[in-house]
Structure 1
Amino acid sequence: MRLVIARCSVDYGGRLTAHLPMATRLLMVKNDGSVLVHSDGGSYKPLNWMTPPCTLTELEPDEDERAEGVQKVWFVQHAKSEDHLRVRLYEIEHDSSHDLGIDPGLIKDGVEAQLQALLAEHIHTLGDGYSLIRREYMTAIGPVDIVCRDASGTTVAVEIKRRGDIDGVEQLTRYLELLNRDPVLAPVQGVFAAQLIKPQARTLAEDRGIRCVTLDYDALKGIDNAESRLF
């Protein structure tokens, strides 16, 4: 991972446009190719980012940029769309690279792990004709909770959470981008499954073509039969 602290401005172009005026920020370039722009506030989420697959090219500033005091320009182009970032670096305070090694992945809590096991056992919960390929399907960026096939034979990647928020959708999006590069699996569809899915997460998932499924933990365990309820 490369960490750069610099006074910079950032312009995002593609499906929409966005501008971050000059300020001191943390720029993260991860080994998977993603680029994230962080500030010192605003919680843990980046102000802007580019998910892989993408390419970062360091350019010399043009005449206008040089006149404004720009030292370097990063141009980050997404490989599958017109989306791109142009990061203008005015002053670099820190630039370092670190080898973090292979991450063991998120260790899920008991309920989340049980949800995964129960859904794998009752994979038809996702729809008639679904069949399990495997749980904890390992990828270069971590294990996918469940990989299965729907009735038409299409590969489906399932991310399971107790509470589904935007971070979970982003995580599944990264898995889908990676899995869809595998000609044996592609095309791969996504299912975001949780006991509770926040409205913002549902909106983002649906915008990205990811199906949302609300899981009933008791029904999966067989304690509660939803079809027999009066209410």
Structure 2
Amino acid sequence: MRIVVARCQVDYAGRLTAHLPLALRVIMVKSDGSVLVHADGGSYKPLNWMSPPCTLREGVAEDGVPEWTVTAKKTDDTLRIRLEEVIHDSEHELGVDPGLQKDGVEKHLQELLAEHTVALEEGMTLVRREYMTAIGPVDLLCRDAAGASVAVEIKRRGEIDGVEQLTRYLELMNRDPKLRPVRGIFAAQEIKPQARTLAKDRGIDCVVVDYDELRGLDDPSLRLF
């Protein structure tokens, strides 16, 4: 990521036109090619920006002032940034971001289901949390009422990637004579229709769990129906 603090003027032309008069601002150039112009206010939202795919060309205006021209590849939109005075210019390698984890809900959900395995299936008992395989840990290893092994993958939102992940775990676990046969349960607060279809095709059961009910916040005695 490149961060530039500069006294600049910004003009956007294309499907609409917009003008930012000369002022001190922060310009961010991200590795995906996006360019964002921020003020010291307005929370997270930039004053103006260009989303990728786009190209950034650094040049000099006729009067000798440095000027950036950011052009969208799919449209005629152009963002022109005139840098009257550059206060700071630096580049930083941020690496791959693991993504946002919202207040530990997924981890807490795993803890709650480990304590209340009957929410997954009647007669289910816990063998171990974070059962390690050669490609990573399965959230829960359980046994059903018949004593068969069950691998449980837990997500906040159940999508196709989660089903694929559980499929890989099951393939490895079913090679272990001490565990097999191992079936899978895909548990989440919400499961996308595509993920549910794929899970059914792979012989994986889907269980939608109520986080608040597991936390004890949803008291059935307070319900009217």
Q: What's the TM-score once normalised by structure 2's chain length?
A: 0.53
Q: Name the aligned partner's letter for residue 175 of structure 1.
A: Y
User: What is aligned with 1:148?
Assistant: 142
Query: Which amino acid in the other structure matches residue 179 of structure 1?
Result: M
Query: In 2, Cα distance between the equivalents of 1:106 and 1:153?
Result: 37
What is the distance in 2 between the residues matched to 1:159 and 1:184? 20
**Inter-partner Cα distance in structure 1 for 2:153 and 2:203:** 14
1:165 corresponds in structure 2 to 159
Q: Which residue of 1 aligns with 2:174?
A: 180
Residue deviations 1:58-113, cap 9 Å, x none? xxxxxxxxxxxxxxxxxxxxxxxxxxxxxxxxxxxxxxxxxxxxxxx999650000
Residues of 1 paired with 2:200 and 2:222: CA distance?
30
Who is 1:192 aligned against?
186
Rounded Cα–Cα distance in structure 1 between residues aligned with 2:207 and 2:221: 17
| Deviation of 1:228 (Å) | 5.6
Rounded to whole Å, the distance in 1 between the matches of 2:186 and 2:169 is 12
CA 1:229–1:172 in 2, change beyond 3 Å: closer, same or farther?
Answer: same
Equivalent residue for 1:201, pick from 173, 195, 203: 195
TM-score, L = length of structure 1: 0.52
SS of the aligned residue for 1:175 comes to helix
**What is the CA–CA distance in structure 1 between the aligned matches of 2:215 and 2:145, rounded to whole Å?**
24
The amino acid across from 1:122 in the alignment is H
Matched, 1:217 2:211: yes
Mapped partners of 2:222, 2:207: distance in 1:
20
Distance in structure 1 (CA, Å) of the matches to 2:220 and 2:155: 21
Larger Rg: 2
Partners of 1:157 and 1:210 lie apart in 2 by: 10
Q: Percent same amino acid at aligned positions? A: 69
Q: Report the Cα offset of residue 229 of structure 1.
A: 2.8
Describe the shift of the 1:215–1:187 C-alpha distance in structure 2 as closer, same or farther (beyond 3 A).
Answer: same
Deviation at 1:226, TM superposition (A): 4.8
- 1:104-131 Cα distance to aligned partner (Å, 9 max, x none): x999650000000000000111222111
Please tell me the residue identity of whatever aligns with 1:224.
D
What do the CA deviations read for 1:127-166 (whole angstroms, capped 9, x no partner)? 2211100000011100000000000001000000000000
Aligned length: 127
2:128 aligns with 134
Q: Give the whole-Å Cα distance in 2 for the aligned partners of 1:138 and 1:209.
A: 22
Question: Counterpart of 1:182 in structure 2: which amino acid?
Answer: D
CA RMSD of aligned residues (A): 2.1
Would the alpha carbon gap of residues 119 and 108 (structure 1) be closer, same or farther in structure 2, given more than 3 Å must change? Answer: farther
Alignment of 1:36-47 (within 5 A): none
Q: What is the identity, as a one-letter code, of the residue corresponding to 2:131?
A: Y
CA separation of 1:106 and 1:181: change in aligned 2, threshold 3 A? farther
> Could you list the runs of 5+ residues in structure 2 that have no partner in the other structure?
1-97
- Residue 125 (1) aligns with residue 119 (2): yes
Task: Provide structure 1 residue ranges, at least 5 long, that are not aligned to the other structure.
Answer: 1-104
4+ runs deviating over 6 angstroms: 105-108
